[in-house]
Each structure stands twice: as C-alpha cells, then as structure tokens.
Structure 1
Amino acid sequence: MRWDNIYLAGLGVHLPEDVYTAEQAVADGVYDATAAVTNGIRAVRVAGPDESGPVMAASAGRQALARSEHRPEDVDAVLHAYVGHQGREFWSPAHYVQQETVGANGASVTMEIRQGSNGLLGGIELAAAHLTARPSATAALITSGDAFHLPFIDRWTSDDQTVFGDGAAAAVLSKRGGFARVVSTVSATEPSLEPLYRGPEPWSRTPFDDGKPVNLTARKDDWLMKNEDAYDDAVGLVGQKVAGVLEQLLDEAGMTLKDAQWFVHATLIRPIAEWSFYKTLDLDPATTTYEWGLDYAHMGNCDQFAGINHLYETGRLKSGDRLVTIGAGIGFMWTAAVLEIV
C-alpha cells in the first residue's frame, strides 16, 4: 500500500538499566558457551520488578508523544503489541498504556496486537489505514513492550534461534507531519507455517500449566522432523514470502533496495541474520543497525523501531534518506515499510 500524508512524527524507547552479558550468562551456567560464540549476541537488558511490558511501553509512548509535538487529544487510536506475559491475566494492557500516555482524551480505538514479533510493524500499517479512513483523526500511538522472565520463558534457551532481551518501543503516526514520511507498507501471511510453533502437545487448559519454561525449540524440531523435506520446504517458503513482500514494497515505493540508505531488521542470531539478509539480499552491514542491536538482543516487537530511534538519536538520518525495515511474526506474517526522512 502506498500512503499519502502519513508521517512518523515521534519515536520512543525504554531500555532497562540492568545489563546481563552473554559472557556472564555462560559463567553463570545458564547459556552454552558454543552457542554464545555462534549466535553473536553480546548482552540483553533485564527488566526490574516494576518494569512490566506495559509499564515500559507507556514510558516509551510518553517519549514518542513528547517528541512528536502532538497533544494527547490528537491521538485517535492506541495500539499495543506484545509477545509474552504482560504482568496480569484477564486484563487489558492496551488500556493501561492509553491511560498512562494519553488518558481518556480523544482516542476512539484502543486495541491489542498479537502477531508475534511483527506486531509493532504491522501496527504501523493498521494505524495508517485507520488515519486514512477517518478524516477527523490526526494521530495514532503504537507501542510494544515485553519482559522475558523465568519460570515462564528462558531468555537464553527457550528458542535456539533467539535470545530475548527486555525493552519497549513506541511510535506516533500523524497526518499533520513528522520527521519521516511513510511511503509504503506491505504485509503477507502464511498460515501453513503455523504448526512450527504450536508443537505436538495436547491443548493446555490453563496458561503455563506444566510449570516448565516454554520450549520453542522442541516445538519446531518436532514439526521439521516429520519428513526429510520439511526443513527445506519451510526455509524456501519463508524466503519466497520475504522476497515477495520486499519486491512489492519497493515497486510501490518506486525504488530498488540499493536506493535505500538504511535497512533495519530484527536482532536475530548471527547465522540467521547473515543468511536472511546479508547473503540473500546482498546487504552491506554498515547500512543496518544490527551491530548495535547485538547489545540488546531480540526485544519482541521492538527491534526495528529501537534501531530507527538509535539512528535518529545519533544524528545519522539526513533529509532525503530512504529507510527500509521488515519484520516477521510467528503465524506467520511479514510486514515491510519504506520511510523517507523529511
């Protein structure tokens, strides 16, 4: 979808102060030394007792709103994305974020987005559609926040392809203006890959009913070992979807990937990042924020906008730059966007 008059007006990030290095995790016996070297993740941030996902998301949201120079009453939609436990059951974290950022002023839509690690980027597309469809709407706030803690999830070992770091990010989209124009967004889904993260176990009757940390690696291994072609088929299908999303995105934006000054992706472990982006797309690592992200690991939905915020805060974005960003969420779903710095 190519957008007219949709802008990224403000970004916000909340990163806990507590740093836990991979080196220390190995010394503590909670992370395998070989995996640490192979995966390349250097550290994570660890949320404190009072830093639940929604609390961090609200902090990031307030920063994004202040930077956007919009008032709380300008915000017509609040969308909150997350991956893991939000600190309460049978509760609405999205409305907590709304109350702590814009209050009861203005917003006519407050909703959660559960799309794995693609929620925040997918939220950009949803928010842009909302603003376009409602002539009276000025801005939308999209937030995300997650804290990955035992015993529910082991940030180092629950998924052999991911190290989970805590944090939050937020963005304000506006029709009034901003520092970047949303040129185009494209999303695609592939539900045939849903079994990858479901696993063979019987349906649980309650959350966390066996008392053991989530084992995403075992779920994936079970499905991928069903036949000798399952792994290659899954990898091939993911590659086709990513290529298709990027091709449509760049076509709608009237550009090629080489025209982009920046490419921002999730903080995946090094073998996957190198295969998915640097080899497959022939990307120059210097045009990404990946090296910076290795000190924070995969923060659920937050990696891309935390990375863009890093470029913003370090003054590396200049007028006329085009930035491509892409995300993926289990299910599966991919969203990519082109931003133009104005």
Structure 2
Amino acid sequence: MIRAVITGTGSALPARRVSNAELAEQVDTSDEWIVERTGIRFRHLAGEGETTGTLATDAARAALEAAGRVPDDIDLIVLATATPDQTFPATATKVQAMLGATDCVAFDVAAVCSGFLYAVQVADSMLRTGVHRRALVIGAETFSRILDWNDRTTCVLFGDGAGAIVLEGQESEAEGGRGILATRLHSDGRYNDLLYVDGGPSTTGTVGKLRMKGREVFRHAVTNLSAVMTESLGIAGLAADDVDWVVPHQANARILDATARKLGLAPDKVVVTVDRHANTSAASVPLALDVAVRDGRVKPGDIVVLEAMGGGFTWGAAVLRY
C-alpha cells in the first residue's frame, strides 16, 4: 500500500527574539504573570522583510535539505496559514516561486491553528492516490501583525514562525510500515465568537485584530483534543500506551498538561516548545516536530501523534510511524 512518509523536517523563526521582560516594557504585564498562566517565556516576532511567505520558504528549504531533495522533486505544496502575504494569490504560490519549483500544484489551507493538520490530511489523500509523489506541507504564520497590542490577554500569547515537512508517497507494509497511519479532523462553526479576527475583505475591508475568550477556549481545547487523539489512535488500531511522542499545538502549557493527564500520558512523552516560541498557530506543530527530530528525540519507527485546535472551532489529530 502507498503511505505518505515524512522524509524531512524544517523550520524557520524571525531574527527578533522577544522575552516577557521586554514585552512588559510595552504592555501592562509581567514575566511572572505570563509564565504562570501560559508557560511562555519567549516568542519571535517578524521584522521588516520577514513575511509568512519568506518564513515558509526558509522552513521548506530546510526540510528539503533534510530529505535530500531539491525543489523540482516536489509536485505539491500545501501551505497552512491564517496570515497570508496577500488576500490572493495563495502564499503557497509565492513559496513555489521563491523555491524555484517550476512544475508543481500549490495552494493554501485556512483552518487557523489546526491548519497544519488539515494540510497533512489533504496532502496524504493526494499522495495516496498516486497522482502526486512528493509534497511540501508547511505551516507558517505572522500573527504579530493581527494582534491588538493593547490587549494584554492576547498579545502575549502569540509569536511568528514556520515549520515544514517533506511527505513522499512510498510503498509501505500494512503492519509496521512507516508513514501516516490515521488522521481525523473536526470543525464546529458555532464557536466562532470565542476565537476570531474582527475583520475581513468581504465584511470590513480591513485585516482586523485577533479576539479571544481564553477561558472558554481552554475548556473546549482539553475536551476536544483528548477526544480526537483517542479517536485517531483507534482508527490506527493503537492505544495511548503505544505512543512514543505527542507533538501538540503549542498554545498554552496548561492545555498541554491537562490533555496529557486526561489521556494518561507521561509528561515526558509530550514535546513542548511553547516556552520558547509561544503560540505560532498553524506553524506550531511542524515547528515542534522539527525541534524534536533534530535533537534526536523523535527517531525512525516511533509512533507520533500530532494534534491541534484553533478558531472555528477546528481541531484534529494525525497518527504516524516516523
């Protein structure tokens, strides 16, 4: 059978790294307040010349190098973002041009923090048909440009960055083979007003700013993420005890801890980067995965669960054998 196998990972962060102490000089907050409530200590913020597209391209180049591939080997680019460079065309096409991948399908997916999981399922489906052979799946964001910097409850939570994987359709054994074993996605538009941006081309004609009711989002996140992880593991024929690593959306350390407890997972099986990157929305899962691959924690053959929840609400999980 054909499975989509991760053959390379990469990531990119803006040059500017901002500590809680530096942020407290501009916003009515403190390092203690942020760390206690979120676990965040640093975030990277995009500067002049750094965009979602440039960060995505840098992450893609790193993933291609890790996979031993060149841009012309890629025939599919799926980019998850809620902060595109332009309303149109898709930022994925800008990445395609910057990489020099000349004969390639490229498009964006919009599912906010769950966007990377949505993009993974889209690419997985397209690779398993055999129509495409190799894909770049990217999550990239510049959320700093849609934050209300007068709202201390939200602006301290987010950062900018990008992460990417190379997915290749390969013949794989039904039992024990590498690749994506199961994915499961959900959405429920009734919760729009809990996490949204108050603008858009067809409503206000402006970009708008991020708005969030944090307590309600927290409650839904723990319930939805633990449920979808259990669901996706069941589809893969696995249990929580089979999992080597969980690579979660890096929204809040409390959510990560609560979700792990609900599933009975040891904390040391959860990859945590929220302390250094903050919430990078669609970029957070591939960013964290790249960190764990490059530092040697995630190894070939490991069972890895990716999960995320974002505005919409959207949420999902993917189970893979790395």
* TM-score bin (small chain): 0.7 to 0.9
Pair 1:141-2:132 in alignment: no
- Matched-pair contact (CA < 8 Å) for 1:82–1:146: yes
Distance 1:17 1:25 in 2: 16
Residue 264 of structure 2 corresponds to residue 282 of structure 1: yes
User: Which aligned pairs between 1:104-115 and structure 2 lie closer than 5 A?
Assistant: 104-105=102-103, 107=104, 109-115=105-111
Residue-by-residue CA offset, 1:306-342 (whole Å, 9 max, x unaligned): 111111111222333211110112112212111213x
Matched, 1:65 2:64: yes
* Cα distance in 2, alignment partners of residues 200 and 19 from structure 1: 27
Query: Given the superposition, is the C-alpha separation of residues 270 and 244 from structure 1 closer, same or farther in structure 2, using an over 3 Å criterion?
Result: closer
> What does 1:1-342 align with in structure 2 at a 5 Å threshold?
4-26=2-24, 28-33=25-30, 35-38=33-36, 39-84=38-83, 86-105=84-103, 107=104, 109-133=105-129, 135-149=130-144, 152-154=146-148, 157=151, 160=154, 163-176=157-170, 181-198=179-196, 204-208=203-207, 214-217=209-212, 220=213, 240-275=223-258, 277-290=259-272, 292-341=273-322
Distance 1:24 1:71, change over 3 A: closer
TM-score (normalizing by structure 2): 0.86
Cα 1:18–1:257 shift into 2, 3 Å: same
8 Å contact from structure 1 (residues 53, 144) kept in 2: no
Q: 1:255 to 1:57 in 2, by over 3 A?
A: same
Q: Could you tell me how far 1:200 is from its partner in structure 2?
A: 9.2
1:313 partner letter: R
Q: What amino acid is aligned across from residue 122 of structure 2 in structure 1?
A: L
Q: Is the 8 A contact 2:113 2:282 kept in 1?
A: yes
The alpha-carbon deviation at position 120 of structure 1 amounts to 1.2
Cα shift at 1:271 = 3.0
Secondary structure of residue in 1 paired with 2:263: coil
What SS does structure 2 have at the residue aligned with 1:302? helix
Greater strand content: 2
Decide whether aligned partners of structure 1 residues 329 and 4 sit closer, same or farther in structure 2, where only a CA change above 3 A counts: farther
Residue 183 of structure 2 contacts residue 318 of structure 2 at CA under 8 Å; is this kept in 1?
yes
2-structure distance, mates of 1:244, 1:127? 23
Distance 1:336 1:156, change over 3 A: farther
Unaligned stretches of 5+ residues in structure 1:
225-230
Q: Identity, % of aligned pairs? A: 23
Determine the C-alpha separation between the residues in 2 that align with 1:200 and 1:15: 26
Q: Secondary structure at the match of 2:318?
A: strand
Residue 185 of structure 1 and its aligned partner are, at CA, apart by 1.2
- Inter-partner Cα distance in structure 1 for 2:55 and 2:88: 19
**Cα distance in 2, alignment partners of residues 278 and 265 from structure 1:** 10
AA aligned opposite 1:257: A
Gaps in structure 2 of 5+ consecutive residues: none
TM-score where L is the length of structure 1 = 0.82
Q: Deviations over 1:157-216 (max 9, x none)?
A: 46549711111111111014799521211112222222323589998431147xxxx251
Aligned residues of 1:158 and 1:215 also touching (Cα < 8 A): no
Q: 1:161 to 1:269 in 2, by over 3 A?
A: farther
Count of aligned residue pairs for this structure pair: 315
The alpha-carbon distance between structure 1 residues 97 and 191, as it changes in their structure 2 partners (threshold 3 A), is same
Question: Amino acid of the residue matched to residue 278 of structure 1?
Answer: A
- Larger Rg: 1 or 2? 1
Task: Quote the residue 1:227 is aligned against.
Answer: none
Q: CA deviation at 1:244?
A: 3.6
Q: SS at 1:294's partner residue?
A: helix
Report Cα offsets for 1:275-312 as digits up to 9, x if no partner.
Answer: 3x13322332211221x431111112111111111111
Alignment root-mean-square deviation, CA:
3.0
Cα displacement (A) at 1:122: 1.1
